[in-house]
Structure 1
Amino acid sequence: MEFGWSADEKAHRQRIRDLLAETLPEDWEARSTHGPGSDFQTDFAMRFCPMLAERGLLVPNWPSAHGGEDAPVWQQFILGEEMWAAGEPRGAQYMNVNWIGPALMKFGSPDQMNRYLPPIREGRAVWCQGFSEPSAGSDLAALRTQAVPVEGGYSVTGAKVWTSYAGRADNCFLLARVPAGGGGPVGKAAIVILLVDMASPGIQVKQIPALIGEGDIHELFFDDVFVPAANRLGAEGQAWDIISYALQNERTGIARYEFSRRMLDRAVERLKAEGRWYDPIVRDRAARALMLCEAARMLVYRVVDAKAHEQPADAYPSVARWAVVQADNGVNDFLLEFLPEGLIGTDPVQVAHHQRAIAAGIASGAAEIQLNAIARRWLALPGEPKPGEQRR
């Protein structure tokens, strides 16, 4: 892997930084602690993302057939690094670039692509994802929301939880299960993906108060919600392949390591200014936190490099995801040990980092789910025994 950036990549990064310097309000640091799902940040994102689009910075890596510039996938990750380090001014729209748009391009029908892709590439779309459930958590295979086939589509009934941005979303990328019966599919094969209009009758959204930011997470309730068959993404029985593809992109699409690294650099400068950097214990802890950040970065870059070379999916996204969680928590622990006063209002960026570190091990699939995937796919450890079998 080439660890340096090309001249074009450096110029692309600088264009993004120039736009941030030009558009972010003076009080952005204080206001961004409200969270990407807050009304303030969502409203700002609806103005900011079209600016990115107009300058060719939002989805340049998309194929030209879908309004992109056929740019290397690295440009998407440069964008992600700069956005996350700045407090994610794209708000909820980071999901569009990371995995919703790519999933639609790979598996969507022509009508779906014509309907959903233009608002995404123009920076006008807000989506939420209906994955986790009260009784299933991150175990998507155990979801219970029902999609009962009816004339012309499906009737959806069930509940989702921890759903980010649902209060302002236009559409929901929903996972549901077709009831078994009559020799129909069961297990993962019975899951369907539905692109649900959030204005549909029968949908109730309830905001969940949370430490991680205003408006970031919600409960969703579906009561006999009709979804047209034309809004099913892929075929019945194909959903798990689509989910796997989407999660490969989602789990490494948030550049948390970049925010943590910049937060660590900020802390070191403050400790130097206060005359505390001479302490060898402080330096040792800082070096450990830096090591975690750079290890996470390199593992994520390994995933991006494989994607750039169109290599098949492997266990690296889960390994990288776990490393990113460790980096977030490592820097947060360092800050709590040596600069705890930042959490009582003296540094709003530290408050924002602390909030996001709390969520790091839950968002995009709980850290325990990643460890299970690593055990199975990387270490080739045995899974749970089948009924009647004994563990060896």
Structure 2
Amino acid sequence: MDFEWTPEEQAFRLRLKQFLAATLPDDWERFSQHGPGSPALTRYAETFCGKLADDKLLTPHWPKEIGGEGLDPWHQAILAEEMWIAGEPRGGQYMNVNWIGPTLIKYGSQWQQERYLPPIAEGRALWCQGFSEPGSGSDLASLRTRAVLEGDHYRVNGQKIWTSYAGLAQTCFLLCRTSDDRKRGISILLVPMDTPGITVRQIPSLIGEGDIHEVFFDDVLVPVEALFGNEGQAWEIIAYSLVNERLGIPRYGLARAALDRAVSVLKEEGRWNNDAVKIEAANVAALCEAARIASYAIVTKRAHGELVGPESSSARFATVMAERRVAEFVVEYLPEALADAHPYLKMHHQRGIVAGIAAGAAEIQLNIIATDVLKLPREPR
């Protein structure tokens, strides 16, 4: 097994590092604490992503005929790693290029692609995903937001919750129920967020600025052209898009960079002479490495054109464990970081503590691993 990067991949990573060094402002580490869904970082991300697009670094993994460079999944992984290690200056736009765009390319109508792909490729678009609902959480099959076809439009009523970026997004990737069948009754609508009848309320956060919201749909009229794919096709589409979403967020890279930063500070301050600290740092580093290798196994399958299934949940959970342990390590041995003594570590902590919720709760991932990977029975025999 060859674990070395090719010269082309090494050159691509170096190009990204040089771009980040030349583009990010001097106070970026402190500024990045605003959070990916904050107004300040969202405004900055539009400028930053525009520069990425100009350098053909925003969507290089997209097909050439769509405006990308046709690079393989390994280049996509490298791009995501370097962005997350830097603190994700793309803000909420990372979602666009990782899975909204590729899903549009695979399932969107010509009208939808022409309308939505150019703004994404130019770094001007911000989306939100209308998935979770009160009482439904990560169990998407139980969602109740309903879309009723009435002539040339759908009438949508319902509520979404924990919706990131909803307060600033232009478009919602909305899951809704078009029939009573548990899974085959779910469809997707691409809904402009300025449509009458949509109300967005921010959910207060104890940490950071908060970028999650409740979204209410009250008799919202959506044209039939907004139907994404076919009625009842949402389960297939989401299975495709979530693999891209989970693997497009290499939190293990940010976690490992934060751990290395914490260890460097401890050494500089003469606090690296305790065996317990060294052992815990080694354990946490091993978790970060395990998460990276688990994710690379999935990238390998994608690079070979193989289907990726529930094993992506294993990589996702490994990343959650790494994130949590790094956050706990900093709290235990460098608690002053949370008081802003070390902005990079504080930024990681703010993002790391939500890792077990974003992109599917960790408990749901464990259920998927148990039933679909390990094939364990749901009930004791």
| TM-score (normalised: structure 2) | 0.97
CA contact (8 A) 1:212 1:356 kept: no
Q: Give the counterpart of 2:236 among 232, 235, 241.
A: 241
Show CA shifts across 1:237-266 (max 9, x none): 211000111111112211110111011111
- Is the contact between residue 261 and residue 290 of structure 1 (CA under 8 Å) also seen in structure 2? yes
**Separation in structure 1 between the aligned mates of residue 252 and residue 206 of structure 2, nearest angstrom:** 21
Higher mean C-alpha deviation, range 229-238 or range 319-328:
229-238
Superposition misfits of 4+ residues, deviation over 3 angstroms:
none
**RMSD, matched Cα:** 1.2
Partner of 1:306: 301
Matching of residue 267 in structure 1 with residue 262 in structure 2: yes
Name the aligned partner's letter for residue 173 of structure 1: F
Matches within 5 A, 1:334-373: 334-373=329-368
1:211 is displaced (CA, Å) by 3.5
Cα displacement (A) at 1:110? 1.3
Aligned to 1:101: 101
Summarize deviations over 1:202-223 as a string: whole Å, max 9, x none.
0111111113532511110101
Q: Retained in 1: the 8 A contact 2:171–2:191?
A: yes
* 2:149 matched residue in structure 1: 149
1:330-359 deviations in Å (ceiling 9; x for gaps) = 111111111112111211222111111210
* Percent of paired sites with the same residue: 57
Does the 8 Å CA contact 1:38/1:213 hold for their aligned counterparts? no
**2: CA distance between counterparts of 1:168 and 1:235?**
28
Matched with 2:16 is 16
Amino acid at match of 1:18: Q
Rounded to whole Å, the distance in 2 between the matches of 1:233 and 1:383 is 33
Q: How does 1:117-136 map to 2 (within 5 A)?
A: 117-136=117-136
State the partner residue of 1:48. 48
Q: Is the 8 A contact 2:179 2:186 kept in 1?
A: no
Distance 1:194 1:212, change over 3 A: farther
Structure 2 residue 312 is the aligned partner of structure 1 residue 317 = yes
Correspondence for 1:291 among 286, 289, 294: 286
State the match for 1:92 in structure 2.
92
- Count, aligned residues: 381
For residue 52 of structure 2, give the secondary structure of its aligned residue in structure 1.
Answer: helix
**CA offset at residue 153 of structure 1?**
2.2
1:50-86 Cα offsets, whole Å, 9 max, x none, are: 1111111111111111111111121111111111111
Q: Secondary structure at the match of 1:123?
A: coil
Contact 1:159 1:221 in 2 (8 A): yes
* Amino acid across the alignment from 1:117: L
The letter for the 2-side match of 1:106 is K
Question: 2:314 and 2:76 mapped to 1: Cα distance?
Answer: 21
Query: Aligned to 1:232, which of 211, 227, 233?
Result: 227
CA displacement 1:189-240 (0-9 Å, x = unmatched) = 1100000011111011111111353251111010111111111111112110
Q: Secondary structure at the match of 2:162?
A: strand
Q: Which residue identity does 2:312 align to in structure 1?
A: P
**Are the equivalent residues in 1 in contact too, given 2:59–2:68 (CA < 8 A)?**
yes
Q: Check conservation: 1:12, 1:75, Cα contact below 8 A.
A: yes
User: In the aligned structure 2, how far is the partner of 1:35 from the partner of 1:211?
Assistant: 13
How far the C-alpha of 1:320 sits from its partner, in A, is 0.3
Instruction: Say whether 1:204 aligns with 2:199.
Output: yes
Q: SS state of the match for residue 161, structure 2?
A: strand
Q: CA deviation at 1:315?
A: 2.3
Is the 1:104–1:113 Cα contact (8 Å) retained in structure 2? yes
Deviations 1:129-165 (A, max 9, x none): 0001112111101111011111112111111011111
1:187 is aligned to 2:182: yes
- Residue 75 (structure 2) pairs with residue 75 (structure 1): yes
Q: List per-residue Cα deviations over 1:88-129 (Å, max 9, x = no partner).
A: 110110001111111111111111111111111111110000
Tell me, in whole angstroms, the C-alpha distance in 2 between the residues paired with 1:118 and 1:146: 30
Q: 1:333 aligns with which of 307, 328, 331?
A: 328
* 1:179 CA drift (Å): 4.1
Q: What residue ranges of structure 2 are gaps of 5+ in the alignment?
A: none
Match of 1:253 in 2: 248
In the aligned structure 2, how far is the partner of 1:308 from the partner of 1:232?
30
1:377 equivalent in structure 2: 372
Q: Please, which runs of 5 or more residues in structure 1 have no aligned partner?
A: 181-185, 385-390
For 1:213 and 1:198, locate their aligned partners in 2 and report how far apart those are by CA, in whole Å.
24
**Aligned counterpart, 2:110:** 110
TM-score (norm: length of structure 1): 0.95
Distance 1:212 1:117 in 2: 33
Any idea what SS the aligned residue of 1:369 has? helix
* In structure 2, C-alpha distance between the alignment counterparts of 1:163 and 1:85, rounded to whole Å: 24
- How far apart are the structure 2 equivalents of 1:156 and 1:272? 57
Contact 1:299 1:316 in 2 (8 A): no
1:223 match: secondary structure: strand
Q: CA deviation at 1:25?
A: 1.4
The separation in 1 between residues aligned to 2:94 and 2:350, in whole angstroms, is 18
Aligned residue type for 2:141: A
